[in-house]
């Protein structure tokens, strides 16, 4: 299984590029993309998921070029997005959220029971409105919505945003389990270095739409480079 991004250029407005020739390859596990607000992380997440069209460059999954596919076909090609802010359907029940996500990807909903075993809180609250769940529980639901689409790659945009430290610890354990047990590739756009260091084999530091450094978050020099980026030094 592999995800390859080569020289991606993308942006929100015509004539204004946010990403500038972003390249990386992921063959196993998880990769982290870290950087302050405005670094280009969400633009990269939306470009990978097909919500934004790449202006140049390429995205390939297992050697198949998916660059020109729209978001719906991108899901069916094997890339699912867990969006920033979770964006669950608050008035729908937990189970209805999962059924709708499976339907959108053209997948059967028979794996709901398996996901409820994997994330017991989803089974316990299957008939509750998603809006009644805590932020951490909603994030698990958002991740389960991606998993039910049977992806080869999951892109998570700021998954720790708005969560308590305890919820972030639980999120890390669940993401570690998903990577270890399912074999799915994971791309995490994050500002939480501890979450990334507990999950990712490689971490890329982005600034102004450019990958400026490949980080080892256990190394002092790379920690200092990250801090300098946030401080704008």
- Measured distance CA(50)–CA(104) in Å, rounded: 14
Which residue, 103, 132, 3, is CA-closest to 61? 3
- 77: pLDDT strictly greater than 70: yes
pLDDT, tens digit (0-9, with 9 covering 90-100), for 123-165: 999 999 999 999 989 999 999 999 999 999 999 999 998 888 8
At 228, the pLDDT band (50, 70, 90 cuts) reads low
What pLDDT shows up at residue 233? 44
38-to-4, 11, 227 alpha-carbon distances in Å: 23, 12, 16
Helices 165-182 + 135-147 axis angle, to 10: 20
User: What's the whole-number mean pLDDT along residues 34-57?
Assistant: 92
The predicted structure's pLDDT at residue 229:
62
Say how far apart CA 168 and CA 165 lie, in whole Å.
5
- Candidates 97, 135, 88; CA nearest to 116 is 97
User: What local confidence, expressed as pLDDT, does residue 223 receive?
Assistant: 73
**Domain coordinates of the chain in residue numbers?**
3-78+152-231, 88-150
**Cβ-proximal residues to 210 (8 Å cutoff; 6+ apart), any chain:** 20, 21, 22, 40
Instruction: Return the CATH fold of 3-78+152-231.
Output: Rossmann fold (3.40.50)
Percent of the chain with pLDDT over 90: 54
pLDDT (average), residues 173-179: 90
Cross-strand pairs, 185 = 153
pLDDT tops 90 at residue 210: yes
Q: Is pLDDT larger for residue 223 or for residue 91?
A: 91
24 has a pLDDT exceeding 90: yes
Band (230; pLDDT cuts 50, 70, 90): low
Q: Note whether 99 and 112 are within 8 A (CB).
A: yes
């Amino acid at each position: 299984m592999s995800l390859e991004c080569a020289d991606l250029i993308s942006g929100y407005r015509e004539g204004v590029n946010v990403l500038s020739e972003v390249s990386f390859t992921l063959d196993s596990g998880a990769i982290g993309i870290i950087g302050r607000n405005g670094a280009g992380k969400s633009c990269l997440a939306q470009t990978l998921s097909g919500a934004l069209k790449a202006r140049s460059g390429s995205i390939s999954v297992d050697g198949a070029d998916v660059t020109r596919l729209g978001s719906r076909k991108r899901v069916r090609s094997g890339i699912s997005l867990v969006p920033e802010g979770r964006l669950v359907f608050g008035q729908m029940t937990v189970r209805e959220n999962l059924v709708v996500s499976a339907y959108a990807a053209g997948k059967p909903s028979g794996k709901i029971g398996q996901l409820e075993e994997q994330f017991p809180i989803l089974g316990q609250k299957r008939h509750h409105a998603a809006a009644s769940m805590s932020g951490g529980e909603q994030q698990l639901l958002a991740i389960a919505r991606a998993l039910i689409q049977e992806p080869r790659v999951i892109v998570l945009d700021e998954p720790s945003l708005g969560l308590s430290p305890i919820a972030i610890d639980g999120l890390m354990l669940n993401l570690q389990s998903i990577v270890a047990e399912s074999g799915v590739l994971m791309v995490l756009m994050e500002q939480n270095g501890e979450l990334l260091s507990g999950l990712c084999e490689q971490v890329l530091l982005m600034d102004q739409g450019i990958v400026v450094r490949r980080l080892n978050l256990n190394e002092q020099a790379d920690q200092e480079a990250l801090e300098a980026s946030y401080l704008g030094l």
